[in-house]
Structure 1
Amino acid sequence: MFLKINYILLLLSIFCGSVSAKNANSPTNISVDVDYYVDEKHEVDISSIELTKFHNHTDDVLNFGNNKATIWCRFKLEDFRQNQVLHLKTALIENAELYIPVGKIDFDTKEAGYKKSFSSLEYQIPNIYFNIPDNFNPNRYFYLKIDATYLQFWTYVGTSSNYLEYIYRTSIADGIYYGIIIIMMLYNLIIYLTARDKNYLYYVLYVLATGLMVAHFQGHDAHLWGELKFIADRGPIWPAIGGFFSVLFAYNFLKIKSSFPIFNKVFYFLFALWGGSIISVLLGFNLVSSLMNQTSGLLCIITFTYTSIQLMSKGMKSAKLFLLAWGFYMTASVYFVLCGANIFEYTLLTDYAWQIGSTLEMLTLSFAVGQKINDLKKDKENLLLDQNKILEFKVNERTEELKSSNEELNTMIEQVYEQHSIIKKKNSDLNASISYAKRIQNSMLPTADDINKHVKDHFVIYNPKDVVSGDIYWFTHFKGMNFIAAIDCTGHGVPGAFVSMMAVNIIREVITLKYLSDPADILEAMNKEVETILNQESSKSREGMDMSICMWADGGVKLHYAGAKNPLYIARDNGIIDVIPGNKRAIGGEFGIRKKGDPFITHEVEITDDIKSFYIMSDGIQDQFGGPNDKKFTRKRLQNVIKMSAHHRLTNQKTILEKELKNWQGEQHQIDDQLLIGFLP
């Protein structure tokens, strides 16, 4: 229905335009009486023009084609009627100056052209009109100085009343045309917003560009941006934009990328040509842009025609409608050119060749786009029906398979359930065993009361990663001496717990049975025992431990420390943290090259009044990831927290340290067992 309405409107416009321009009240075409001179060097002015040799012209149209020269025209007018109006029938003149002979030697000057301010023109309507004053000298020549990159025009003389009927007829036809443009744009834009098919969007852009191009050819674009000099001075931009969007639409509508990939590069070349024309005109090279527009337009005609024919041969229905639409446009273009060459009579139909051709093209393309969408919907429906049939067959086939395998599946489910029960029972037994191991491990830890009997103050932060821990701490009072150790065994969880149990038994044996009291001797003895018990010389196992051990005598004034990799921190009341590093060797796992480590060293520290507390630890806290950048806590940060809280009692320090560690860890999982002991002998 929409398509039929548009065709009716089109026929009305053709009917309005088919009336002959030559009737009794029409202006007179004086083009055959106009002489011309081509000023290639732009060096002639009105003062010297009368000395220039002009050429006679005998056609109804002055056609100079692509042009970079200044064109001078001369003619004489009779003074038998008043209020005469000179009409240059074209909208593509950039600058026009009319020199009106007054008296014997003087001239009055008037200016027009699309590069002039639209509001400054005598007639703010398409084309160029000059009022001729009644006091001109009919015995002298009028002179026209014209600049235009493409020049083809007719010269008419009449009165203002002669032009009223002409302007009225053209206004009706123009209104119908632009109405069709707007309706087509809105209609297809609504469909695009509903269907989200890009072909509709590209078509809307193409229709808009075509409308602006025709508006420029007819001079109507001056009503839009006649006062915007940058746009008004660049007339060839609209054919360039129209050409660019025509290629974009054709490329997507004909599916060149998939249906005719061999022409991909040809279309890319056309994109580049039109893009180059747009850039040229934006830079002010109007003539270059105009020449590129004509070249690109010719290549588009050849490319679109050839591509459509090839795709038609492959069975693409939409290519037929595309070729038909493009044929309307080409026919109108050829007809316009032949009228300009006086092969056909120039009528109002010629005036509207562009509008008629582009309207027929747009209507046909609109139908083609709609038809293409309908075809796609039908294809999708047929595909859906085929898929449903295939799916139904597969469902029936699969149902039979499921029926036949149902008993087997039930049997497997029963077996899985039975295995699940067994695994669940074993898991429960394993968890119970681990929980029992935890109770055993905890029973080997010294109690807070045992430690408090022999120190002024202390705290222990002990956070196993799993149920049982590879870190363990130990304290004993033996023969007037106090021993405290922080032991970090290889691994964590159950493997680490086994090693920790061994470590506690070894350190107890070394101190209480072998009567060793020097921390370095204790570490050496433990190293030897671990290697012997685990047979590391032959098994090559690397199990062992890092540890710190401190010893002080009851009432003594010195603390003795030795470390296997792990340090001793000393907090003093001046805010300084002293760090005594341990030896760079572990206990156990020494064989081959690693067995050449230096002997363990015992360090003596005087227990003076400025000492706030001592700290021994594993590496679990300093290696914990967290914070805003997911980095390690580090020894330096731990030392800073100890320094910040050293003036508090050790029990309060524990709270501060635990809070700081919790905030740092956040949602991160714990990566290792954590152990930190603070004490003051």
Structure 2
Amino acid sequence: MRLKPFLICIIFSHSLVAQKPVILSDYIQQVSISDMQINYLDDPACSTHPSELFSGMMDHHFSELDFSDPDDALLHALPGNCVWFRFYFVNRSTKQFAFHLQPNLFSEFSEFRLYQRFENGLITVRKSGNTLLPRNKDVNISGSDDLRVFLPPGESDTLYLRVLLSEESVLSDLTFTVSTQQSVLQKDRSKRLIFGIFVGIMLIMILYHVPFYVRARETSYLYYILYILAFLVFFVHKEGYIYELTPRFTSAPVNIFLLEIFLLFFLLFGRSYLDTRNTLQSWDTILLLAVWFTVGGLILSLTILLLQGTGVFVPVFIQLGGLAINIVSAIGSLFLAIVPAMILTRENFQPARYFLFANLFLILGISMNYALKEYAIGKHSLEFGVTLQILAFSIGLSERLNLLKRSKDVAQRRIIDQLRENAALKDKVTRELEDKVRERTFEIQAQKEQIEKQNKEIKYSFDYAKKIQNTVLPRHEVFDNLFGEHFIFFKPRDIVSGDFYWITHKDYKIYLTAADCTGHGVPGSLMSMLGITMLHEIVNEKNVSHSDEILNQLRLGIARTLKQEGKIGEQKDGIDMAMLIYDTRNRKLEFSGANNPVYIVRDGEMLEYKGNNMPVAYYDNMSDFTRYSIDMKQGDRVYMFTDGFPDQFGGPQGKKFKYRPFKDLLLEVHERPMEEQRRILNLIFDEWKGDLSQIDDVLVIGLRL
């Protein structure tokens, strides 16, 4: 029974010895850990405790790791699972050194925990990984996941590393190296020095060109500055310095998003710098399409980034689509910018040469970064290439600005020469004109006298026409005799009016109309004379005694007189009117209307009777006019009007007065004496019109029955 623990220890020690050790020495600054030097243990529930590992109880569960052909357990490990890695270190250095166990840069794992047990039995743990705050990491350098290892000279030790998987974790991509802390810090100092020099150059270029943009307002300078800023942000994220302040998150979508911004400003700068809108319009259209394609990729990358940041799973095909757009944008941007530059270089557009050379520097930097990525010069070749590109752009912008200045100088000299020629020509023309003016002055004076004479004759004709119209219109005495109280607010737009009112009395009935003829001025006055004549004939001679029949007869007479038959191109003149017949014996009111209503105010409420929606003229959908029969009460107010008042423009915003405010105005003043109502309407109309012109004739008739 006593032999059993001894046999177990032999078996554990044999399994441990089978694992190839990682040799550390003071003359090897960095060493990669190979397959034979790592054993792993799958721990899906993350339930294994470090004490179990250091006791040797779990040694027989560890397996060898083959990076080229990982086991299915590693390939199909799920997010939230844990995997343990065992390292056996032998320190052959003669001095005390601190070593760094380094997972590959920016590995996408939630957490690393490195456990080491010292001679006194104390187990220490050092942490790193994406989910940790930078201050809680064992080593906080450029967002790396380094873990320090302390091993005295001449000694060996077994360390266990627990890895917690995330959504983005790919175990087959995980590799390890061990470096001395001195070499790590030395590389970091060199890297920061190069980074500082690069950032300093970029900031100097930005500060140098900002005043040029402020003075010249040239968009190429703005896009140039934004291009530098975009690359600076991309470079700061690429180097990982941002993760010394914030926790790391998925870097691939961030890199794609920042690269899309970088490419967008590159295209905008190239389009503005080469001035393709004026120099190569066909290529300008292609560049615009490329800009919008890049914007689409930018939106897709931002969407993926936001979804992943909130924990939403993004399908792989969408991520691959974003990556494909990014690759096409990168390659296409360079091609679409370089080809126009080559075309313009052949056309001797000097700034295009600098643009071409600048992009050759960028291509050289990208090529060296890919081909020599294992060497120091290759790791920083992209920064060198962009620096040379931006410097070349700066020289090209200066040359372009000088070219613009020279072009402006040439244009100004041409303008000055042209102005001189124009001045000489102007003097010559002025002298010739002065001679002609003197000759024409006598003719103009004679023409002026002739025009003044004609104006006086026209004015006399209009005044005479007004007298005739005023003679035809009913006198106020007629209204005074037939109605106890009334007002007539009549305001022609011109000297003569297209609006008219007409009244007659037969037996115990009063016939009254307020009408608006098509047009105003002389044409409207002719129509009004025609309407008054026909109304007199229909009512007084033909003895038509109903309002609807009067309108029907009047429409027939106007259509016959104006030869209206519904043909295309014929005159559409007509009359909008309200026709009233008041039976004074029975106190009944007949009403028919053509596009015009009549308002009756009774006991503080307004009653509206609408006419037919057609004029007194030929109409496509003609029908007989409607007759309303209304019982009137003592004190009722009746208002007839044309559309001149409601349609008048004015007020603070120059809008129409409209019918609703017009009805409210009548309702507000209906209890006042009729003459006072007329003065109020006149005052309100003038105030509303203000400095604007009167657009139509105005007629409002008010009656108190």
TM-score by length of 1: 0.69
1:320 corresponds in structure 2 to 353
1:363 corresponds in structure 2 to 391
> Pairwise mapping of residues 164-179 of structure 1 onto structure 2 (< 5 A)?
167-179=188-200
CA distance in 2, matches of 1:292, 1:547: 73
Task: Output the amino acid matched with 1:157.
Answer: S
| 2:96 matches 1:82 | yes
Structure 1 stretches lacking a partner, 5+ long:
1-24, 57-67
| 2:400 matches 1:380 | no
Residues 40 and 181 of structure 1: CA distance in aligned 2, closer, same or farther (over 3 Å): farther
| Partners of 1:570 and 1:578 within 8 A in 2 | yes
Identity of aligned residues (%): 18
2:72 corresponds in structure 1 to none
From 438, 441, 454, give the equivalent of 2:466. Answer: 438
> Pairwise mapping of residues 113-512 of structure 1 onto structure 2 (< 5 A)?
113=129, 116-126=132-142, 127-134=144-151, 138-140=155-157, 155=177, 157-159=179-181, 167-223=188-244, 226-227=246-247, 229=249, 234-235=254-255, 237-255=257-275, 258-259=279-280, 261=282, 265=286, 268=289, 271-272=293-294, 275=298, 284=308, 288=320, 297=330, 308-341=341-374, 346=375, 349=377, 352-393=380-421, 396-397=424-425, 400=428, 403-404=431-432, 406-408=434-436, 410-412=438-440, 414-439=442-467, 441-442=469-470, 448=476, 451-452=479-480, 455-473=483-501, 485-486=512-513, 488=515, 490-491=517-518, 492-497=520-525
* Partner secondary structure for residue 635 of structure 2: strand
C-alpha displacement at 1:178, in angstroms?
1.8
From 631, 634, 647, give the equivalent of 1:624. Answer: 647
C-alpha displacement at 1:78, in angstroms?
0.4
C-alpha displacement at 1:84, in angstroms?
0.8
CA distance in 2, matches of 1:293, 1:41: 38
1:606-638 Cα offsets, whole Å, 9 max, x none, are 88xx3214647453457635699956855x876
Q: Which has the higher contact order (CA 8 A, sep 6+)?
A: 1
2:21 corresponds in structure 1 to none
| Partners of 1:552 and 1:558 within 8 A in 2 | yes
Residues 576 and 327 of structure 1: CA distance in aligned 2, closer, same or farther (over 3 Å): closer
1:51 corresponds in structure 2 to 63
Task: Output the amino acid matched with 1:314.
Answer: E
CA distance in 2, matches of 1:438, 1:406: 45
| Partners of 1:457 and 1:650 within 8 A in 2 | yes
1:498-521 Cα offsets, whole Å, 9 max, x none, are 56567778888999xx89998569
Residues 305 and 77 of structure 1: CA distance in aligned 2, closer, same or farther (over 3 Å): farther
CA distance in 2, matches of 1:399, 1:34: 95
CA distance in 2, matches of 1:274, 1:39: 42
| Partners of 1:519 and 1:549 within 8 A in 2 | no
From 652, 674, 686, give the equivalent of 1:650. Answer: 674
Residues 505 and 665 of structure 1: CA distance in aligned 2, closer, same or farther (over 3 Å): same
C-alpha displacement at 1:466, in angstroms?
1.9
CA distance in 2, matches of 1:597, 1:218: 90
TM-score by length of 2: 0.67
Task: Output the amino acid matched with 1:675.
Answer: L
| Partners of 1:118 and 1:226 within 8 A in 2 | yes
* Partner secondary structure for residue 110 of structure 1: strand
| Partners of 1:330 and 1:357 within 8 A in 2 | yes
Greater Cα shift, 648-657 or 263-272 = 263-272
Task: Output the amino acid matched with 2:128.
Answer: A
Question: Please, what is the CA RMSD of the aligned residues?
Answer: 5.8
Residues 150 and 419 of structure 1: CA distance in aligned 2, closer, same or farther (over 3 Å): farther
Structure 2 stretches lacking a partner, 5+ long:
1-24, 47-52, 69-78, 164-168, 309-313, 566-570
Count of equivalent residues: 624
| Partners of 1:36 and 1:55 within 8 A in 2 | no
Residues 417 and 261 of structure 1: CA distance in aligned 2, closer, same or farther (over 3 Å): same
1:29 corresponds in structure 2 to 29
1:52-73 Cα offsets, whole Å, 9 max, x none, are 15579xxxxxxxxxxx9x9989
